[in-house]
Amino acid sequence: MCCYRVSQIFNFSNIFMMDQRINNQMTLSEKIQLKRPFIIAGPCSAETEEQYISTALQLADLGKIDVLRAGIWKPRTRPGSFEGVGSVGLPWLQQAKKLTGLPVAVEVATAKQVEDALAHDVDIVWVGARSTVNPFSVQEIADALKGVKIPVLIKNPINPDLELWTGAFERIQKAGIESIGLIHRGFSSYGNTEYRNAPMWHLAIEMRRRHPEILFLNDPSHICGNRHMLQDVIQAAVDLAYDGIIIESHIDPDNAWSDASQQITPAVLGEMLNNINWEKEINLTPSDERALNELRDQIDQMDDELMLLLSKRMKVSDKIGHYKKEKNMTILQMKRWNDILERLTRKGDKLNLSDDFIVRYFNAIHMESIRRQDSVINGGG
Ligand code: PEP
Ligand code: MN
């Protein structure tokens, strides 16, 4: 009998390994490296000393939380919403640390906030989604962190742009921060999706592929924006071998001053964590394994054929580019493209391929064709 962990199948290192070395003497950075799942929880915002301390005590009682979170300075989309209590809340966090023994994490967006947080023994700071989009803000935070030894977590930018996320990572790294983590909190998209911020899992997986050695957390609260989808999103993240989660929890979620609809009580969080299937053991017999390998061989072969076909298709498209150049035609022929999509989605229906997939797949091919024709026509190709 052969035993795989999902994490091994995804080939992500260290995931869900309850390492022997994990103990209370470990430094926070070591824990970040080794403790799986790594769980950060706390209210969206620290509102009053009483609210923060009682939430922190209840969370600590669960025995499953590694770090307490708190929003002290809240970046709000519209003015007039609660913008955080500011530095007066920092001593509450110190008190929560003392009472629970847990480290605390806070979002920072300016150099002054970094200084205030550090002056009050904050253990981890994170860069919020609205800061990651702005290289000026990230650089200011990075400069304020020079010479400081605390872990820094970086949320994905609001918009689906991995270069901005990577840029923020590089700026923080250049400041000399050794312990860096990434937080996937979903991406804003115009119009209605069922999520507050669409997860766009493929982008997070690509970021993870680029930085396999870095702590990678999911933030189900800001992805969902509601309570009823949290459990499923946490499970999805666990199945994709994330290292852990950062989640919002409040003693009285309905009356929270920010993000009320997505917060849950510590007790509900405890139940959710109990319901998660953290470590899917997949037991494969040698014959299961052979069958799986045969299927994988088929996939590899088909992928090779697809690559050859794609290359052939692009060569034809180059020839069309030369033709368009000669006849002085525009690259994009809208009617032709609509006809292609219509024909292929109709065909897709018969072949059990969804319209959405067909449109996305052929859009990618079409964009590459246009890029190549552009270089034929304008780039002297
Ligand atoms: C938060 O964590 O409370 C927060 C403001 O998150 P984000 O930066 O993901 O919007
Ligand atoms: Mn929030």
Output the CA 222–ligand 1 centroid distance in Å.
7
Could you tell me the CA-to-CA distances from 17 to 30, 31, 377 in Å, in that order?
13, 12, 54
Could you tell me the CA-to-CA distances from 2 to 109, 277, 311 in Å, in that order?
48, 20, 39
Q: What is the pLDDT of residue 21?
A: 54
Q: What is the pLDDT of residue 280?
A: 67
Q: What is the pLDDT of residue 281?
A: 62
**Which amino acid is residue 141, in one-letter code?**
I
Q: CB under 6 Å to ligand 1: residues?
A: 44, 71, 107, 128-130, 155, 185, 222
**Which amino acid is residue 303, in one-letter code?**
D
Output the CA 27–ligand 1 centroid distance in Å.
26
Q: How many residues does the chain have?
A: 381
Instruction: State residue 358 phi and psi, 5-degree precision.
Output: -60, -45
Output the CA 15–ligand 2 centroid distance in Å.
26
Taking a C-beta distance cutoff of 8 angstroms, is the pair 93, 48 a contact? no
Q: Which helix (H) or strand (E) holds 283?
A: strand 281-284
Those residues of the chain that have pLDDT short of 70 are 1-24, 192, 280-282, 380-381
Query: Which residue has the CA at smallest separation from atom 10 of ligand 1?
Result: 129
What is residue 66's three-state secondary structure?
A: coil
Q: Probe ligand 1: pick from 40, 44, 127, max atoms within 8 Å of CB?
A: 44
Residue 309 and residue 295: Cα distance in Å, rounded? 21
Query: Which residue has the CA at smallest separation from atom 6 of ligand 1?
Result: 128
67 strand-pairing partners: 40
Atom of ligand 1 nearest to the CA of 128: 8
Half-sphere exposure of 350 (CA within 13 A, CB side): 5
Output the CA 223–ligand 2 centroid distance in Å.
10
Q: What is the pLDDT of residue 23?
A: 64
Nearest residue to 68 via CA among 35, 36, 85, 92: 92
Number of CB atoms found within 10 A of residue 5's CB: 16
Atom of ligand 1 nearest to the CA of 221: 2
Query: Which residue has the CA at smallest separation from atom 1 of ligand 1?
Result: 44
Output the CA 258–ligand 2 centroid distance in Å.
7
Burial class (CB in 10 A: 0-12, 13-18, 19+), 379: exposed
Q: What is the pLDDT of residue 48?
A: 98
Q: What is the pLDDT of residue 189?
A: 84
Atom of ligand 1 nearest to the CA of 44: 3
| Model pTM score | 0.79
User: Which residues lie below 8 Å from residue 3, measured CB to CB, with a gap of 6+?
Assistant: 281, 282, 283, 284
Atom of ligand 1 nearest to the CA of 185: 9
Atom of ligand 1 nearest to the CA of 71: 3
Q: What is the pLDDT of residue 77?
A: 79
